[in-house]
């Protein structure tokens, strides 16, 4: 009994640390996005709440939580309630295998990369269910678009991750980071990095692939009907996914977080900044162009890279 209590306490504390860190990270990621975009467009950005607007995300979050929760009468209420919770939970669960150093990780499992792939593939359900359960045309179309986009770009991303696994010879995240001691994987696998970056943009529904949220056509995508906490959970989940993707890219290609943790964090933040950079500069794709890009350009190219990596590994050994 005492043993179980100890396990529960330890696990709870550990997960609490991860969740709180993640939430703070998400809050300041939004601020970072607004500030960086403001700098690119020669504006000031948020600067009223707190010193240089540091408390802005807190104010936003408080505002969102305090608003009234609206559940549409025609909605399927159970699924309507489950969908945002699912999205947020999955985005948190993904962080459990993310290593923040050689020793510091919540759960060091052997097949960490596969775990991330598997769990992130469940993430589609939150969106598709939210779109269906709202019982509104805009939300439904947004959900369908978003799900199709995520499924099709997951294939290319999975192939690139497969080639990384083949190159590193392991599927443990920490071992992948240790294998990059001599040289970062971005050097031998540069085309793979470009493809993974594009696929990550599409996976997280970021511009230029933000079709589900195309304001002009679909109001706001799958989360039109959501307000207050539900919306906040979607928002949190989305940004947690963005941070995860940027950290994942840093881990796979930029050497990860091995010795110097500040330097490691800087890698992740630089990837995040490049996400924002893309948002600030590029226009949106058309839907058929998006699908063509996914299936007819990225997928064959990713297959080619995979074959190349296999032959490279065979030549080295």
Partner 1 sequence: MDSTLGLLVILLGIIMICTLVILRSVNPIYSILNLIVIYGCYAAILLTVEMEFLACIYILVNVGAIAVLFLFIVMMININIVEIQETMRKYNIYMIVGIIGVIGIIGILITNYNIRLKEEVIADFSMFLTTSESNQLTVVPTYLDYYTLFTETTDIRTMGSNVIYGSQSIWFIMACIILLIGMVGVIYITEDLIIEKRHLNERRRQDINSQVLREYKTTIRNYREIQ
| Interacting residues toward partner 1 by CB under 8 A | 79, 109-111, 114-115, 117-119, 121-122, 124-125, 128-129, 132, 140, 144, 147-148, 151, 154, 171
Minimal distance, residue 79 CB to partner 1, in Å: 8
The residue among 61 and 158 lying less far from partner 1, judged by its C-beta, is 158
Minimal distance, residue 148 CB to partner 1, in Å: 7
The residue among 29 and 218 lying less far from partner 1, judged by its C-beta, is 218
Angle, alpha carbons 273-275-276 (nearest 5°): 65
Q: Which of 101, 97, 105 is nearest to 259 (CA)?
A: 101
Neighbours of 146 (CB within 10 A): 26
The residue among 29 and 309 lying less far from partner 1, judged by its C-beta, is 309
Minimal distance, residue 141 CB to partner 1, in Å: 11
Minimal distance, residue 271 CB to partner 1, in Å: 24
The residue among 128 and 247 lying less far from partner 1, judged by its C-beta, is 128
Structure tokens that stand for 82 in this block: 């489950």
Minimal distance, residue 242 CB to partner 1, in Å: 20
The residue among 154 and 225 lying less far from partner 1, judged by its C-beta, is 154
The residue among 148 and 244 lying less far from partner 1, judged by its C-beta, is 148
Q: Which of 109, 124, 125, 115 is nearest to 94 (CA)?
A: 115
- Between CA 292 and CA 69 the distance in angstroms is 39
Peptide bond into 208 cis (omega under 30): yes
Residue position matching structure tokens 């020793």: 103
Q: Residue 140, Cα to own-chain centre: how many angstroms?
A: 22
Residue position matching structure tokens 């589609």: 124
Q: Residue 5, Cα to own-chain centre: how many angstroms?
A: 33
Minimal distance, residue 144 CB to partner 1, in Å: 7
């Amino acid at each position: 009994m005492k043993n179980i209590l100890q396990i529960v306490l330890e696990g709870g504390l550990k997960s609490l640390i991860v969740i709180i860190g993640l939430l703070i990270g998400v809050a300041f990621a939004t601020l970072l996005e607004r500030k960086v975009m403001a700098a690119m467009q020669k504006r000031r950005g948020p600067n009223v709440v707190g010193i240089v607007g540091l408390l802005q995300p807190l104010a936003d979050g408080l505002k969102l939580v305090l608003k009234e929760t609206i559940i549409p009468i025609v909605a399927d209420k159970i699924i309507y309630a489950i969908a945002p919770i699912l999205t947020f939970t999955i985005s948190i669960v993904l962080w459990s295998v993310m290593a923040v150093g050689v020793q510091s990780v919540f759960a060091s499992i052997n097949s960490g990369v596969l775990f991330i792939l598997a769990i992130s593939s469940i993430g589609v359900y939150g969106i598709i269910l939210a779109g269906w359960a709202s019982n509104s045309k805009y939300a439904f179309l947004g959900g369908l678009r978003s799900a199709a986009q995520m499924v099709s770009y997951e294939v290319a991303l999975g192939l690139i991750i497969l080639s990384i696994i083949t190159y590193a010879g392991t599927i443990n995240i920490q071992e992948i980071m240790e294998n990059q001691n001599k040289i970062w994987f971005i050097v031998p696998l540069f085309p793979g990095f470009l493809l993974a970056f594009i696929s990550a943009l599409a996976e997280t529904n970021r511009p230029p692939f933000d079709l589900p949220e195309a304001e002009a056509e679909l109001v706001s995508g799958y989360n039109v009907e959501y307000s207050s906490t539900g919306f906040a959970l979607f928002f949190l989940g989305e940004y947690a996914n963005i941070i995860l993707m940027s950290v994942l890219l840093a881990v796979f290609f930029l050497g990860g977080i091995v010795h110097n943790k500040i330097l490691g964090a800087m890698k992740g933040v630089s990837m995040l900044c490049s996400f924002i950079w893309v948002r600030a500069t590029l226009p949106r794709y058309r839907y058929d162009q998006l699908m063509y890009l996914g299936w007819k350009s990225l997928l064959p190219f990713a297959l080619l890279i995979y074959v190349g990596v296999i032959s490279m590994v065979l030549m080295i050994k």
